[in-house]
Amino acid sequence: MSAPRTLLDKIWDNHVVYTPPGELPLLYIDRHLVHDVTSPQAFEGLRLAGRKVRRPEATFATPDHNVPTTDRRLPIADPVSKQQIDTLRANCREFGIRLYDLGDADQGIVHVIGPELGITQPGMTIVCGDSHTATHGALGALAFGIGTSEVEHVLATQTLRQAKPKSLEVRVDGRLAPGVTAKDLVLYLIGRLSTEGGTGYVIEYTGPCIRGLGMEQRMTVCNMSIEAGARAGMIAPDAITFDYMRGREFAPKDFDKAVTAWEKLPTDAGAVYDRVEVFQGGDVVPQVTWGTNPAQVTGVDAVVPDPDAFGDPNDRSSAARALDYMGLARGTKIVDIPLDRVFIGSCTNSRIEDLRAAADVVKGYRVAANVHAMVVPGSGRVKRQAEEEGLDRVFREAGFEWREAGCSMCLGMNPDTLSPGQRCASTSNRNFEGRQGKGGRTHLVSPAMAAAAAVTGHFVDIRGWEYK
């Protein structure tokens, strides 16, 4: 009998094509997702070298980063953005790649539409020129972000040169308390693992708390693995995964046969991870970031920390710099931080369950007078579904803007940005300096926490919310 293997071992072993002597292994890539920002130079490289795309049918493209979220019938106002979108169109035409273009009913954030269309499947290797590709690991795939040169390598060869990463089991026992979400859990985990605690590792999230999460919540957790430094996060496929996959457009035609194969993927009993970290789901309270990286996070019931209280000199200077940038005084209660903007969206939290959770909070309330709030669904499908359920009306009636699908103010490449000094409760994944706009101040929270903050104009503990 062969030695027990982890989920990572199995997918890795299944995909190593060949290891040339003295070189890095060639890892086969099953699915390649392409977007507007990190692909033009890769296609140009192919053209210059006279190379083709090896498997255009395994390559899927959509514009998301740089697209307007306002009326799609209007032309793109920014000529440089328009050129980048036009370039993606021309490249997909030239190389025969399926494109979910602006105006296509299924256009959306690449990490939302991959799982939604069934492009993402358990056991696959999936890459994209985007660090949040880790999202797809929620379905039991090995999925990670790559740079543009690697995008070109995958386009040309359908493989990647990769050293095998180490495995890190992050086991979460127990269960989340009511009002505490997957977003709170992953922010909590990043706070404890640090922004580089997962560097060099693929995280496999295990344990009863993880198993108890629905598919979209699992995506939220895996999505932010990169914020702990791990290129990939994954969760072993189970009945929840299979139920999610069933009936999706690109799901295997012989579904039962596929399930039989997928059932063999979970980590074997006795398999050894390179490292194990254990947490308790019951310890997690709703989280709010106070600094300029996602590990600078605390509970909504806490205060902005004192930088001098950090033992490590790097942490101390980072915290001091962060408080200066964020315009926050040490000791300030998190619930006393006032807000100017609220953003509900991004590949972390723009799926239907996220929007339902936010709408439940908002229902019967109005957005605070001093707050500008917007909801940006993750895809055309999410938007349609939400409209069928009447969620758009809940948001609009409360004073939220209801937008078209895209990355939007998660990174502010399009016109959706913060002005200098504006403070935003955001369901996105990065609170870096200037991420949502130069001088903008980002606090990462769950969709429910963002919705409640929009109503009250400051952070509130969602566990005490009065739902109407």
361-420: contacts with other proteins (CB under 8 A): 411-413
| Least distance from other proteins to the Cβ atom of residue 381, Å | 16
Under the binding rule (CB under 8 A), the answer on residue 159 touching other proteins is yes
Q: According to the 3-state scheme, what is the secondary structure of the chain?
A: CCCCCCHHHHHHHHHEEECCCCCCCEEECCEEEECCCCCHHHHHHHHHHCCCCCCHHHEEECCCCCCCCCCCCCCCCCHHHHHHHHHHHHHHHHHCCEECCCCCCCCECHHHHHHHCCCCCCCCEEEECCHHHHHHHHHCCEEEECCHHHHHHHHHHCEEECCCCEEEEEEEECCCCCCCCHHHHHHHHHHHHCCCCCCCEEEEEECHHHHCCCHHHHHHHHHHHHHHCCCEEECCCCHHHHHHHCCCCCCCCCHHHHHHHHCCCCCCCCCCCCEEEEEEHHHCCCEEECCCCCCCEEECCCECCCHHHCCCHHHHHHHHHHHHHHCCCCCCEHHHCECCEEEECCCCCCCHHHHHHHHHHHCCCCCCCCCEEEECCCEHHHHHHHHHCCHHHHHHHHCCEECCCCCHHHCCCCCCCCCCCCEEEECCCCCCCCCCCCCCEEEECCHHHHHHHHHHCECCCHHHCCCC
Figure out which of the listed residues 174, 179, 214, 252 binds other proteins, where binding follows CB under 8 A. Answer: 252
Under the binding rule (CB under 8 A), the answer on residue 146 touching other proteins is yes
Cα 418 to its chain centre, rounded Å, is: 20
Figure out which of the listed residues 50, 73, 253, 331 binds other proteins, where binding follows CB under 8 A. Answer: 253
Under the binding rule (CB under 8 A), the answer on residue 116 touching other proteins is no
Angle at 115 between CA 68 and CA 126, to 5 degrees: 100
Under the binding rule (CB under 8 A), the answer on residue 430 touching other proteins is yes
Among 171-179, 191-199, 377-385, 391-399, the segment contacting other proteins (CB under 8 A)? 191-199
Figure out which of the listed residues 9, 116, 130, 204 binds other proteins, where binding follows CB under 8 A. Answer: 130
Under the binding rule (CB under 8 A), the answer on residue 143 touching other proteins is no
Angle at 218 between CA 402 and CA 123, to 5 degrees: 120
By CB under 8 A, the residues from 284 to 313 that bind other proteins are 293
| Least distance from other proteins to the Cβ atom of residue 103, Å | 19
Under the binding rule (CB under 8 A), the answer on residue 200 touching other proteins is yes
Under the binding rule (CB under 8 A), the answer on residue 81 touching other proteins is yes
Among 4-12, 129-137, 269-277, 371-379, the segment contacting other proteins (CB under 8 A)? 129-137
By CB under 8 A, the residues from 57 to 76 that bind other proteins are 57-58, 65-66
Report the residue number, 19 or 370, with the smaller CB distance to other proteins: 19
Among 78-86, 178-186, 269-277, 453-461, the segment contacting other proteins (CB under 8 A)? 78-86
Figure out which of the listed residues 4, 13, 18, 370 binds other proteins, where binding follows CB under 8 A. Answer: 18
Under the binding rule (CB under 8 A), the answer on residue 249 touching other proteins is yes
Among 123-131, 239-247, 278-286, 340-348, the segment contacting other proteins (CB under 8 A)? 123-131
Under the binding rule (CB under 8 A), the answer on residue 220 touching other proteins is no
Under the binding rule (CB under 8 A), the answer on residue 105 touching other proteins is no
Figure out which of the listed residues 6, 69, 107, 121 binds other proteins, where binding follows CB under 8 A. Answer: 121
β-pair type (142-145, 372-375): unpaired
Q: How far apart are CA 7 and CA 170, in angstroms?
A: 13
Under the binding rule (CB under 8 A), the answer on residue 96 touching other proteins is no
Report the residue number, 36 or 216, with the smaller CB distance to other proteins: 36
By CB under 8 A, the residues from 328 to 367 that bind other proteins are none
Query: Among residues 148, 119, 150, which one has the least CA distance to residue 136?
Result: 119
| Least distance from other proteins to the Cβ atom of residue 432, Å | 4
Q: How many residues bind other proteins (CB under 8 A)?
A: 75
Figure out which of the listed residues 63, 68, 115, 129 binds other proteins, where binding follows CB under 8 A. Answer: 129
Figure out which of the listed residues 4, 17, 96, 387 binds other proteins, where binding follows CB under 8 A. Answer: 17
Under the binding rule (CB under 8 A), the answer on residue 136 touching other proteins is no
Q: What phi-psi label fits residue 364: left (phi over 0), alpha (psi between -120 and 50 degrees) or beta?
A: left
Figure out which of the listed residues 5, 70, 72, 78 binds other proteins, where binding follows CB under 8 A. Answer: 78
Report the residue number, 152 or 392, with the smaller CB distance to other proteins: 152
By CB under 8 A, the residues from 20 to 59 that bind other proteins are 20, 22-24, 26, 28, 30, 37-38, 40-41, 44-45, 49, 51, 54, 57-58
